[in-house]
Structure 1
Amino acid sequence: MLKIFTVTFPFFALVLAGYVAARRRYLPLEAIPGLNGFVLFFALPCMLYRFGASTPVAQLLDMSVALTWLLCGLIVVGFTVATSLNARIGWNDAAFGALVAAFPNSGFMGVPLLVALLGAQAAGPAILTMAIDMLVITSLCIALSRLDGADEHGAAKALKNALKGVLTNPMPWAILLGAMASVLAFELPGPVAKVVGMLADAASPVALFTIGAVLARSQMLAASGHAAAPLLRDYLPVALLKLFLHPLLVLLIGVTLTRLGLPLDPFALTVVVLVAALPSASNVSLLAERFGADNGRVARIILVSTAAAFVTFSLTVGLLLP
């Protein structure tokens, strides 16, 4: 277990460093969007392209992994929405609570952390889960968020906005280009490859630092608002669902489908279970703010799951890996 903590500690320590920097104002809150922009549009796409280009395309298009992950994601979304709807939480807040329960931080944290733990072969299944979360789960939750009439144009406009968001998000394109490079055995020219490599190397530390800063900013902005603080029972169960139910569900569904004849590789199943054990994706807070959901609740779910994941994720690794 000490060996596992040795690997996971630096990742969570960088998140804590970003959180402290923002809370102490060593990092101005106005600078956080710049860090986000660097990670989203430069560093992370280069990292995903490099992993995609060096990963056999069969791993990036593993339908067994895709089916297992998608089925579990839909179950988590449905269960979270069904158990969240009440007099205080409408469709908008319930849908983004479901998204934060089903969408792990696979981009900023998961891919580099899993590669450090399991080697480069872990990138393929992790990237595939990220693509499904961005293309299907996010679009579904945005559409569900419109069902309470918060937007006069309803679900149709939400789906259109979701599709537009996917098309303008550089990460799916980076994955696609990396997969194409893998298929065609294409290699970037030397100087270009060097630039891509430098940006890719910067992705993990800057992204983790930015996660902490975003969490601190979300908490600070929510605390300074006029809305009442979310009740503990409105956000703690969702964080626990993310950290415990989601990975357990992926494991059970994966094992069941394997016994029914699905050709799911045991190593790939281990990877996606660990992906599910990651804390909630920090970018959901930005989406919640854009669509008028209770961002204070979403931010607390992300904060609790990220803080607790240092222990819960490490324990999951210890249980799954010899």
Structure 2
Amino acid sequence: MLNILLVTFPFFALVLAGFWAARRSMLPLEAIPGLNGFVLYFALPCLLYRFGSTTPIASLLDASVVGVYVLCALVMVAFAVAMTLNQRIRWNDASLGALVAAFPNTGFMGVPLLAALLGPQAAGTAIVTILVDMVVTSSLCIALSRLDEAEGHGRQAMLDAGRKALRGVVANPMPWAIILGAVASAWAFTLPKPVEQTVWLLADAASPVALFTIGAVLARAQMRSNHPMPMLDYVPVVVMKLLLHPLLVLAVGSAAIQLGVPLSPAALTVMVLVAALPSASNVSLLAERFGADNGRIARIILVTTAAAFFTFSAAVSLMT
């Protein structure tokens, strides 16, 4: 366990450093969008391309991983919505809450962390889960979040939300970086040396800057959320994310293997650890865009990130 904590500590320490820098005004809040832009449009796509291009194409096209992970994501969204939807928390807040319950922080934190723990071969499975969460989980939750509007505007509101979610996926450089990396892997294509070195340098910057930015984003969300909040509004979702999600993936994946699905134990280990990651920090931006209670979403992300230092390390200890 100590060896695992020695690996995970620097990753969570960088998140804490970003949080502290923003809270102490060492990092102006106005600078956070710039950091986000650098990670989202430059460093992280280069990191995903590097992992994709150096991963065997079979790992990136593993239908067993896709099937099991999609099923678990759908179950998590349905369960989270059913457990939180009430007179106060309507479809918009319940759906975005379900998204933080089912969408791990795989891109900003999971890929580099799992590669450090399990080796570069773990990146292929993690990248597959990123595509599922961006295309399926996010689109579904955004569409469900428009059901409050649909009560007055019918199906058109949901269709508009679905189109907006798909446009967001198309405009996101991460899936394109993954696709280009997969194509490069399939064709054994390598970039010209100067270009490759540039891409690799940006990829090396992705992990530290992304983790620092996560902390700054969480600090900003906490500083802007001043209203008191009952623990029942966010603690159950924290438990769903850190405990129920990985247990569900483990149970469904193990059952699939028993039924003869060609899912490798190594891939299942990566999927369980992906599910054990804290909630994706970019859901806070979606909550702002769609008018949900961002204070609640930010608190869930903050608590899952803090608690994951212990729960994720425990999951790694049990799974490896």
TM-score normalized with structure 1 length: 0.97
In structure 1, the residue matched to 2:225 is 222
Which position in structure 1 is the counterpart of 2:18?
A: 18
Which residue number in structure 1 is paired with residue 9 of structure 2? 9
**What is the Cα deviation at residue 59 of structure 1?**
0.4
**Alpha-carbon shift at residue 229 of structure 1 (Å):** 2.7
- Is 1:272 aligned to residue 267 of structure 2? no
Residue in 2 that maps onto 1:28: 28
Amino acid in the other structure paired with 2:245: H
| Aligned-partner residue type, residue 165 of structure 1 | G
Aligned length: 317
Structure 1 letter corresponding to 2:57: V
Alignment of 1:17-166 (within 5 A): 17-149=17-149, 152=153, 153-166=156-169
**Displacement of 1:230:** 2.5
Q: Which residue of 2 aligns with 1:201?
A: 204
Counterpart residue type for residue 159 of structure 2 = A
**Which amino acid counterpart does residue 84 of structure 2 have in structure 1?**
S
CA distance in 1 between partners of 2:196 and 2:270 (Å): 28
* 8 A contact 1:222–1:296 mirrored in 2: yes
In structure 2, C-alpha distance between the alignment counterparts of 1:105 and 1:91, rounded to whole Å: 23
State the match for 1:304 in structure 2: 303
Give 1:3's aligned amino acid.
Answer: N
Q: What is the distance in 2 between the residues matched to 1:265 and 1:282? A: 29
Choose 58-67 or 150-159, whichever is displaced more: 150-159
- Name the aligned partner's letter for residue 83 of structure 1: M
Q: In the aligned structure 2, how far is the partner of 1:309 from the partner of 1:4?
A: 13
Query: Are the aligned partners of 1:229 and 1:296 in contact in 2 as well (CA < 8 Å)?
Result: no
Give the whole-Å Cα distance in 2 for the aligned partners of 1:57 and 1:289: 37
1:176 maps onto 2:176 in alignment: no
Conserved in 2, the CA contact under 8 Å of 1:103 and 1:281?
yes
Aligned residue type for 2:167: K
Q: Over the residues paired in the alignment, what is the CA RMSD in angstroms?
A: 0.9
Moved over 4 A (4+): 150-153
Structure 1: runs of 5 or more not aligned? none
Letter in 2 for 1:68: V
Residue 238 (str. 1) matches residue 249 (str. 2): no
Displacement of 1:296 in angstroms is 0.3
> 1-side partners of 2:200 and 2:311: how far apart?
32
- What are the Cα deviations for residues 219-247 of structure 1, in whole angstroms up to 9, with x where unaligned? 11112xxxx43321010110111000000
Q: Quote how far apart the aligned CAs of 1:154 are.
A: 1.0
